[in-house]
C-alpha cells in the first residue's frame, strides 16, 4: 500500500454534481420585439465541469488503512 492519504470522490457543492451552473437570461430573437427568458449553462468553475472532485477521505488515516489492509491479508 502506498504512503499517501486515502482519497474519495465528492460531489461538487457549487453545482450540486451537475457540472454546470445555470442562470436565467433574456434573449432577443431576430424580428421579434420582445425578449424571451432562456437558460444559460456554463461549466462550473469549482470543479471544471466535472460535477465531482477528488478529496481526502474523512476519518481515514494512513495508519488505519494499513491496519485494515493487514487484517484483510
Q: Which positions ≥6 away from 39 have C-beta within 8 Å?
A: 22, 23, 24, 25
| Residue-level pLDDT at 58 | 66
Instruction: Please tell me which residue, 9 or 41, carries the higher pLDDT value.
Output: 41
What number of H helices and E strands is found in the chain? 1, 4
Position 30 in a domain: yes
pLDDT tens-place string over residues 20-57? 999 999 888 888 888 889 999 999 998 989 998 887 77
Per the structure, the count of domains in the chain is: 1
Q: Which residues contact 72 (CB under 8 A, 6 or more apart)?
A: none
Evaluate whether residue 56 is within a structural domain: yes
**What's the whole-model pTM score?**
0.53
Given this model, what pLDDT does residue 1 score?
Answer: 47
- What domain range includes position 39? 7-72
Amino acid at each position: 500500500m502506498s504512503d499517501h492519504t486515502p482519497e474519495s470522490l465528492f460531489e461538487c457543492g457549487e453545482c450540486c454534481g451537475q457540472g454546470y451552473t445555470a442562470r436565467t437570461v433574456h434573449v432577443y430573437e431576430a424580428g421579434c420585439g420582445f425578449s424571451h427568458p432562456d437558460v444559460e449553462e456554463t461549466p462550473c468553475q469549482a470543479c471544471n465541469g466535472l460535477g465531482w472532485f477528488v478529496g481526502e477521505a474523512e476519518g481515514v488515516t494512513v495508519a488505519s488503512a494499513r491496519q485494515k489492509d493487514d487484517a484483510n491479508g
